[in-house]
Amino acid sequence: MKYLYFLLVIQSLSAPVFAQKISALNKVNALRYLEKGNQEYNEGRLSSAYMSYKQVTTTDPTNYKGFLSLATAELELNSYYAALEHAAKAYELSKKKKDGELNFVKASAHHRMGELESALQHYKLAEQGYGKSLSKELEIPTLIKQCEFGLAELAKGIKNLRIPIAEELTTKHDEYGPILTLGGKTLFFTARKPETTGNNMNPDDQRFFEDIYQASWNEESKSWVLNEEAIEGVNTEGFDALNYVSEDGIYALGTLNTSASKEKTTSSSEIVEYGSGDPGLLSSATILNHKDLNTSYFEGAAAVSDTVVYEDETTSQWLVFVSDRNGDKTMTDLYIVEKKDDAYQQVLPLPKGINTTGRETTPFLSPDGNTLFYSSDALPGMGGFDIYYSKKENGVWGSPVNLGAQFNTVNDDTHFQWYPSMSKAVMASISENDESFNYQLFEIDLTGLDLPFLK
């Protein structure tokens, strides 16, 4: 979808004539930088594209397409202040104030900054500029609903309940996937930092690979302390992410992808198990051996319910995960499978309504397996990914419910996990950090709250 949108952004490479004198050579060079940036962007080399677009605006400050493309790249790099500034500059330079692509980028920048009324205004102008068919393809009606939903939530005076976890460990790099175990005294999370194992970068997005981290709560200092011994030998030179850890800390599920690293132990992303027998410590990953779980498609972000033991001593456990195996029709969907007496049954997609044509990700099951939490970017919400839940009654999953402004923001909110025994939840969200935006870790105290999923 983003590539279709971006092609619309770059359809015309001509710059309007302004009073400011720009040499013909500079104009030609700016167009070359723009063409180079477009190629890099379409190849997924976002950081390189960003630098090329910067060259456009420096070489020819009257080239509104350069500012528009720069704002587009900055939105994907989570540089929202800069994106809003450069989208406004493109709007100022352009003579086509009702142009669909121009208003779409400006609306997106306002949306990410939480300026919902301005975002709504420009999304509606973008819808008029693009026309109904293309607007639907770009999901502008959904974005309009997100702004309207967010404004309605904020009008209620709802206060967001989340507070940061482990601020002492927070950096300007993405940290997400918080998992609490052992009574909340051990914290696992995933991060993309320069000190990643092997110091390798993903060739697709030119960012560092993921690694798993563990921290322990220090009662004396009242702070989290990183514990490198707990993950020794766990991380590879590829992508390593942790998605679930049992309450006793001896079993875990994660996602592993070494296809772009020298190990090449996987051909794509795979669901893996960890288990050392020592609470809070991880062993090296073992690929979950089941043909219908780890296919040639992307598979990952798995979580499980507790195991139920019935009177006849049969057992049942549910596992939910993310896959793009239906990628020709949708982006990523959620799938679920029952593990009955240690044997996996048929893998089934969760029903339409939970799965959309957009992206569903980071699922989590309640211990009894009857409440599903997950994030989606294609349902009415505040913006980006919002967190939803669905309850299963008589074997049927109900319609998803948005957790609302108590949990969600206008940016991506993901990795929600609920711990009834601790009356607490954790999540990750893209949030401001010294005028930049990146994924950070949060927790929510659920004590005394009147929330439907708690009943």
Per-residue pLDDT tens digits for 192-244: 998 888 777 777 677 889 999 999 999 999 999 999 888 988 999 999 999 99
Strands 315-323 and 286-287, sheet pairing: unpaired
CA 261 to the chain's CA centroid: 22
Share of the chain above pLDDT 90, in %: 76
pLDDT of residue 16: 46
pLDDT of residue 20: 56
pLDDT of residue 189: 97
Instruction: Write the DSSP assignment of 85-150 as a string of letters.
Output: HHHHHHHHH-S-TT-HHHHHHHHHHHHHTT-HHHHHHHHHHHHHHH-HHHHHHTTHHHHHHHHHHH
Helix (H) or strand (E) holding 66: helix 64-76
Residue 266's closest CA among 245, 244, 240, 243?
Answer: 240
In angstroms, the CA 66 to CA 313 distance is 66
342 to each of 293, 303, 313, 337, how far by Cα in Å? 14, 16, 12, 12
Q: How much is the average pLDDT of 316-345?
A: 93
User: Which range, 23-27, 329-333, 371-375, has the best average confidence (pLDDT)?
Assistant: 371-375
Is the pLDDT assigned to residue 2 strictly greater than 70?
no
| pTM given for the model | 0.89
CATH of domain 2-155: 1.25.40.10
Q: Where does CATH 2.115.10 sit in the chain?
A: 163-454
Show the beta-strand stretches assigned E in 296-381.
299-304, 308-309, 315-323, 333-340, 343-344, 348-349, 360-365, 371-376
156-178 per-position pLDDT tens digit: 998 899 999 989 999 999 999 99
Q: How much is the average pLDDT of 387-399?
A: 95
Q: Tokens at residue 356, please?
A: 């959309």
User: What phi, psi does 278 have (nearest 5°)?
Assistant: -105, 120
Q: How much is the average pLDDT of 335-359?
A: 94
Look over the chain and give the mean of its residue pLDDT values, rounded to a whole number.
Answer: 91
pLDDT of residue 61: 96
Instruction: Write the DSSP assignment of 175-199 as a string of letters.
Output: EEEEEEETTTTEEEEEE--TT-GGG
> Which CATH code, of 2.170.150, 2.115.10, 2.60.120, 1.10.10, is assigned to 163-454?
2.115.10
Banded model confidence at residue 18, pLDDT cuts 50, 70, 90: very low
Which residue(s) pair with 388 in the sheet? 374, 402
Residues in the chain: 455
Is the pLDDT assigned to residue 309 strictly greater than 70?
yes
Q: How much is the average pLDDT of 355-375?
A: 96
Give the least confident one: 61-65, 325-329, 383-387.
325-329
| No. of helices (H) and no. of strands (E), the chain | 9, 23
Q: How much is the average pLDDT of 237-255?
A: 95
pLDDT of residue 310: 86
Question: 3-state DSSP call for residue 295?
Answer: coil
Higher pLDDT, 201 or 285: 285
Q: Tokens at residue 112, please?
A: 């990410």
Banded model confidence at residue 5, pLDDT cuts 50, 70, 90: very low
414-441 per-position pLDDT tens digit: 999 999 999 999 999 999 988 889 999 9
Q: CA geometry: angle at 166 spanning 163 and 170, to 5°?
A: 100
In angstroms, the CA 129 to CA 395 distance is 45
Give the least confident one: 74-78, 195-199, 356-360.
195-199
Is the pLDDT assigned to residue 57 strictly greater than 50?
yes
* Residue where the block lists tokens 């456009």: 56
* Residue where the block lists tokens 């949708």: 330
Q: CA geometry: angle at 305 spanning 300 and 311, to 5°?
A: 140
86-122 per-position pLDDT tens digit: 999 999 999 888 999 999 999 999 999 999 999 999 9
Q: How much is the average pLDDT of 243-268?
A: 93
Give the least confident one: 51-55, 207-211, 369-373.
207-211
